[in-house]
Structure 1
Amino acid sequence: MNARADVDSVFGDVHLGYLVVESNRTAQWRRFGADAIGLHVDTLDGTTLRFRLDDRTCRFLVRRGPAEDVTAMGWHVDNHEAFDRVVARVADRGVPVIEGTAEEAALRGVERLWRFPGPKGLVQEIFTVAVTTPEPLRMLSTGWVTGDAGMGHVAILSRRPEAVRGYYRTVFDSRLTDYIDENVAGLRMKIRFLRVNERHHSIAVADIRGVRIDPIRTRVQHINIQSASLDDMLASYQRVRELGFAMAWSVGQHTNDRELSYYCVTPSGFELEVGWNPVVIGPELESTWEPSTYQGISIWGHSTVGSTVLTKFEQFRQALRHAAIPEATVPELSGGLIR
């Protein structure tokens, strides 16, 4: 990367700040988030929940609606210079950037926000100032890792993985951390892990090699949050099981970022990964990092839970239903890095 490109880069200035979920299952979400995972929950009205992980007033916004999916990703941009660069990159490509309303900003716990289209129909929202509160956290967990690494990561399955990778490279100067090759039920899957700051990855993009199918109903395959302690992670795993929420993958350790984690199923159907102690790519590692390819997702564990032949058949039917529907992309932003 040349000096000019490095000066213009927003890498390190962007962090995943919040996620917006649309669901008609708010009662289940409250029980899942507060009682099973151990998050702080605020009920704003009969149709809106907010979950906190730290001193910010909102990390997850769950609003009533039929999607049963993540609908928007909120990105915290550290300073106005980086914010202006992101807006210019999007607007100069002819993609509309629209300011959110004061009510929308307040619900998300930010002073102001702007939004623009993203891959797979996931709206991207950017802001510079988050609203914090001195109100103590009321939650079963003792803490979550956020800060410079952002609140976690989002993983998606795409039929156009290079377009998704190009999008985040263009908009946020994402860098490729590594790849994983995995066989799932006889299908070859490739996963790309993209970082925008010191977190090993804020976006993971998977595709099934050789066939353009997507067996996932939701826009996201899973979202991730990071426990501050191993005890917290294991305690939430036990609560998820005891309260009867579906488990997708048992506790295990990943090959690439070394994170210990488990995956459970949210009330909306996509998965939540609760993890602990992944690799952090700080300045020293960043200066010499080279992407590698790992064979297999896990060193140990992460066994499937509750998967049956009927589950696999339904996923295949889902893939066939979606095969003729074009995947939402933003071609104007999927080509390459804007200098």
Structure 2
Amino acid sequence: MTGAVPGSVFGSVHLGYVVVESERFVDWHRFGADAVGLHVDRLSRDVMRFRLDDHASRFLIQRGSAEDLVAAGWQVDDHETFERVLARVRDRGVPVTEGTPEESALRGVERLWRFPGPKGITTELFTRPVRTAAPLRMLNGAWITSGEQQGGNACGMGHLAITTKDPVGLQRYYDYVFDARLSDFIDENVSGQKLKIRFLRTDSRHHSVAVANVQGLPIDPIRTSIQHMNIQVGSLEDLLASYERVRSQGFVMQWSVGQHTNDRELSYYCVTPSGFELEVGWNPVVVTPELESTWEPTTYQGISIWGHTPVGENVITKMSQFRRAVASLRQQEIRVPAISGER
């Protein structure tokens, strides 16, 4: 695979923040500050933000009943690329609206525009984050969020993992909007069914979006819009320390520390107060320009080389998983057919 083609926005779009709607503010505060080790700013009774770096906001927690991730903010490197992305969306007849000054301020950006995204995750675009020199009060030393931390290879704040019965359509969405590239596939067996996961990158991070095909399963086992989201610590010591804090604080640890087959990231998975999982990882593969020039997608068998074993599974956790799966039956999967190719 060669470098960016003319007109491509690949490499210029990075995951910048997420918006979560929840009523469980006490749990989210304890989860973010005391367990995972993030910087927490409580702005009001109904608004809380987490910082990872000098961006004013990386996680925005707003009071609401969804108990879900409802929006993803994507940072665009320059105004020309920004306009190119918006033109693509408008060309398909998809409505684009500008966020209010109040919404932009809460997200820690100067201005933002939004349009519909798959699984009901609103896609929000911005170019200029609000930065702050206020000291970080967090239990971890550093989070990997920028190119400066990876030798100039822009990477964004992490990735989203989404389950869907229309994996091709979801890939088309991110391909059309962001010129996402396919990194690789993983084949994994779940209850006797083969689950194929495709990994899409928008920059040098191995993947900014992971797409799990649940078309062969009788029901989508995930109630929430995402199965998990990922953030990356700066050191192995921080990874292990946060793992122990999550357990000692009483939050559900879904999968123990392990290493993935494709991006080689060491990580663990815990359950957020809203029900989707958070993967905390360290040292994944970076697709540098040198690797980009020769990259070819590969299919890996199994998601982990070692580890990532279920933690503390019992009848109660199995029943909770069943209830979440049943809840997903009541939901129609939200799609954006004008972009995903169902025209």
Q: Which residue of 2 aligns with 1:117?
A: 116
Q: Greater CA deviation, 307-316 or 176-185? A: 307-316
Residue 190 of structure 1 is aligned with which of 196, 214, 225?
196
Q: Is the 8 A contact 2:166 2:215 kept in 1?
A: no
Deviation at 1:312, TM superposition (A): 4.1
Q: Which residue of 2 aligns with 1:232?
A: 238
Q: Number of residue pairs matched?
A: 335
Q: Is the 8 A contact 1:200 1:280 kept in 2?
A: yes
Q: Greater CA deviation, 239-248 or 321-330? A: 321-330
Matched, 1:203 2:209: yes
Alignment of 1:34-49 (within 5 A): 34-49=33-48
Residue 287 of structure 1 is aligned with which of 283, 286, 293?
293
Could you report, residue by residue, the CA deviation over 1:16-75 in whole angstroms, capped at 9, with x for unpaired residues? 000000000111111100111111111101111110000000000001101111000000
Percent identical pairs in the alignment equals 65
TM-aligned CA distance change 1:317 to 1:233, over 3 Å: closer
Could you report, residue by residue, the CA deviation over 1:223-275 in whole angstroms, capped at 9, with x for unpaired residues? 10000000001000010011111100000000000000000011111100000
TM-aligned CA distance change 1:32 to 1:315, over 3 Å: closer
Matched, 1:302 2:301: no
TM-aligned CA distance change 1:230 to 1:68, over 3 Å: same
Q: Which residue of 1 aligns with 2:11?
A: 12
Q: Which residue of 2 aligns with 1:168?
A: 174
Unmatched 5+ stretches in structure 1: none
TM-aligned CA distance change 1:164 to 1:212, over 3 Å: farther
In structure 1, how many angstroms separate the alpha carbons of the residues matched to 2:209 and 2:126? 18
Moved over 2 A (4+): 208-213, 306-326
Q: Which residue of 2 aligns with 1:180?
A: 186
Alignment of 1:135-284 (within 5 A): 135-147=134-146, 148-208=154-214, 210-211=216-217, 213-284=219-290
| Secondary structure at 2:267 match in 1 | strand
TM-aligned CA distance change 1:215 to 1:6, over 3 Å: same
Alignment of 1:8-157 (within 5 A): 8-147=7-146, 148-157=154-163
Unmatched 5+ stretches in structure 2: 147-153
In structure 2, how many angstroms separate the alpha carbons of the residues matched to 1:177 and 1:107? 33
TM-score by length of 2: 0.94
Q: Is the 8 A contact 2:2 2:294 kept in 1?
A: no
TM-aligned CA distance change 1:57 to 1:321, over 3 Å: closer
Cα RMSD (Å): 1.7
